[in-house]
Amino acid sequence: MPHPEENAVVQQQIERLHAAHLGIGDDQVVTYYSSEMRAESHRFGIAFAHIDGTRWRHGDCDYAFPLQSISKVFTFGLALEDNGREDVLQRVGVEPSGDPFNSISFDEANNRPLNPMINAGALVAARLVAGRDTDEKVERLLERLRLFAGNPDLRVDEQVLDEELGGNDRNLALSYLMRSLGMLAGDVDENLTVYLAMCSVRVTATDLAMMGATLANHGLNPSTHQRALPRWVVRDVISVMGTCGMYDAAGQWAFDVGIPAKSGVGGGILLTLPERFGGAFFSPGLDRHGNSVRGVNMCRDLASRFGLHPYAAPQDTMFGRREPADPHPRLEVHD
């Protein structure tokens, strides 16, 4: 738990890093989603929430953007709760794909999508969410998002949803192919509506940081103290975030940053470090993987400067204390 006197120091560090990264990475931007977001290229928000409820934030933290693929985290979580681990694993794997998020690739040996953080797996996870009809499924998922964020006003942006449904040919093709292979059942259009409705929910970086903190707090919202997911489900969700959450850059992310995360083409990145904090970044310029350029660069900087990589040597960090480093390290002798 951060000491009260450290909070101002943490805030100061966040503001300095925000300023340092505001003008970095523009040459790495490959695309914006949607193209209208090019006009918002200047936006950059950072937010953190500790599991004790302490919050830090700076920049465009109140700018609402669509969750997009970050929603896959929460759809997978509710699918697990509704069906149990074994039933879900029979339908969706947990292996990194190494391919773009919208690729048409499967675990052919087990006749299932590779993982729930790519479109194929997320479509199956949406199908596994319990509900009598599309509206009930969407409402159940929305209610979970609200519990995670501690924000009862989260809703589907109908304009974004209409745009998503209008440019959805690849997901339609993927759905029909999976149905033909026995991976997906039921009405394709209805299932796509559930999936895309969650992608169309607008959140702020402040919301997203609390969602990450709720995951870090084993499914209990640190602010409202309401449970959003059972502990066992959170464990499984974070595990898959750690290996599959950053599209086909997941391996490089694990090497550079190491913190379980999920990105979305809306420009957001969600972080969660169990028993410590949740974090969020928003900047719409995307790299070739579909990840926020400023967000990725910022996370790399945070991990290296403050020892936040889970496998880093023990040291003091900006989000609570580990055991101090050995004050008398042994010298390395080279022949």
pLDDT at residue 329 greater than cutoff 70: no
Quick one: pLDDT band at residue 2, thresholds 50, 70, 90? low
d(CA 202, CA 20): 27
Which comes out higher in pLDDT, residue 156 or 13? Answer: 156
Q: Indicate if 195 belongs to the active site.
A: yes
- Asked whether the CA dihedral 205, 208, 214, 215 is positive or negative, the reply is negative
**Which of 71, 72, 237, 257 is flagged as catalytic?**
72
DSSP H helical ranges for the chain? 7-22, 71-83, 85-91, 119-128, 134-149, 158-166, 169-180, 188-199, 205-216, 231-244, 250-256, 293-306
Give the whole-number percent of the chain exceeding pLDDT 70: 92
Q: Considering only 75-84, 99-108, 233-242, which range has the smallest mean pLDDT?
A: 99-108
**Which of 69, 71, 175, 292 is flagged as catalytic?**
69
**Which of 94, 195, 262, 293 is flagged as catalytic?**
195
SS3 label, residue 112: strand
Nearest C-alpha neighbor of 17 from the set 256, 277, 302:
302
Mean of pLDDT values over 74-101: 94
State the CB neighbour count (10 A cutoff) for residue 156: 22
Q: Indicate if 72 belongs to the active site.
A: yes
Quick one: pLDDT band at residue 26, thresholds 50, 70, 90? confident
Mean of pLDDT values over 77-83: 98
What pLDDT does 10 receive?
A: 87
Most confident of 7-11, 217-221, 306-310: 217-221
SS3 label, residue 38: helix
What pLDDT does 327 receive?
A: 36
In contact, 118 and 174? CB cutoff 8 Å: no
**Which of 247, 257, 283, 292 is flagged as catalytic?**
247
Q: Which two tokens stand for residue 290?
A: 């579909």
Quick one: pLDDT band at residue 314, thresholds 50, 70, 90? low
pLDDT at residue 125 greater than cutoff 70: yes
Quick one: pLDDT band at residue 325, thresholds 50, 70, 90? very low
What pLDDT does 25 receive?
A: 75
What pLDDT does 143 receive?
A: 98
Mean confidence (pLDDT) of the chain: 91
Q: Indicate if 311 belongs to the active site.
A: no
Q: Indicate if 69 belongs to the active site.
A: yes
Q: Considering only 49-58, 83-92, 326-335, which range has the smallest mean pLDDT?
A: 326-335
Q: Indicate if 63 belongs to the active site.
A: no
**Which of 265, 292, 293, 296 is flagged as catalytic?**
265
DSSP-derived letter for residue 104 is -
What pLDDT does 294 receive?
A: 96
Domains of the chain: 4-321 (3.40.710.10)
pLDDT at residue 127 greater than cutoff 50: yes
Quick one: pLDDT band at residue 42, thresholds 50, 70, 90? very high
Mean of pLDDT values over 284-307: 92
Which comes out higher in pLDDT, residue 24 or 330? Answer: 24
In contact, 273 and 310? CB cutoff 8 Å: yes
In contact, 264 and 70? CB cutoff 8 Å: yes
